[in-house]
Amino acid sequence: MNNKKWLIWGLIGFTAILLVTAVILFFQLKQPAPTASPRPRPTASPQLPPIQETTTEEVCSLSFTVAASPSPSPSPSASPSPSPSPQPTACFDTCDSDANCEADLRCLTVSGTKRCVNPSCTEDADCICASPGPSASPSPSASPQAKASARPKPIF
C-alpha cells in the first residue's frame, strides 16, 4: 500500500512539472519577437538632370570605309566537280514544300510536322494506302543487320 502512495505522488509531481513547463512555454511563445533594427523607410529618388534636346543631325554619326584586301589568285583545278543536287525527300521525311518530295508525294502537315506523304493516306508512314477490303498481310522486308567481326575495331 505504501508503494502505491509513492507511485501516485510521483505521477502527480511529474504532471505538475509538465503543466508548469507548458504554461511557461505558452507565455514565451505569445510574446512578440524582438526586431534587430527598425525597418528602413524608402527615400525619394534624387532628381534626374533635364535632358538636353538638340536639333543638329551630327549628334551621333558613324562613318567607316570598307576596302577589299588583296587575296591570292585562284589556282586552276584539275577538273570541276559537280555540285550535288538535292535529292527528293522520301516518304514520311520532313519537308518544306511539295518540290522537296518525290513525284507522287505531297508536303502536308501530319501531327504538327510537315512531311512528304501520299495525299490519299496521310497517316501511313510507308505511303502505301491499305485497301478497305480484305488484303494479304504485307511481306516482311529485310532490315539492315550489323555483322560481327572477329577483330574489334579500335576507337580513337
Q: What CA–CA distance (Å, rounded) separates 10 from 17?
A: 11
> What's the rounded Cα separation, in Å, for the pair 116 and 100?
8
Tell me the whole-structure pTM to 2 decimals: 0.31
Res 148: pLDDT: 54
- Residue 115 dihedral angles phi and psi, to the nearest 5°: -135, 155
Contacting residues for 21 by C-beta, under 8 A, at least 6 apart? none
pLDDT along the chain (156 residues), means of 10: 86 97 93 73 76 69 76 64 66 88 88 89 83 54 53 61
Q: Output the pLDDT for position 3.
A: 81
Cell digits of residue 81:
566537280
pLDDT per residue as tens digits for the range 35-64: 667 777 777 777 777 877 776 665 676 777
Model pLDDT, residue 9: 93
pLDDT at 24: 95
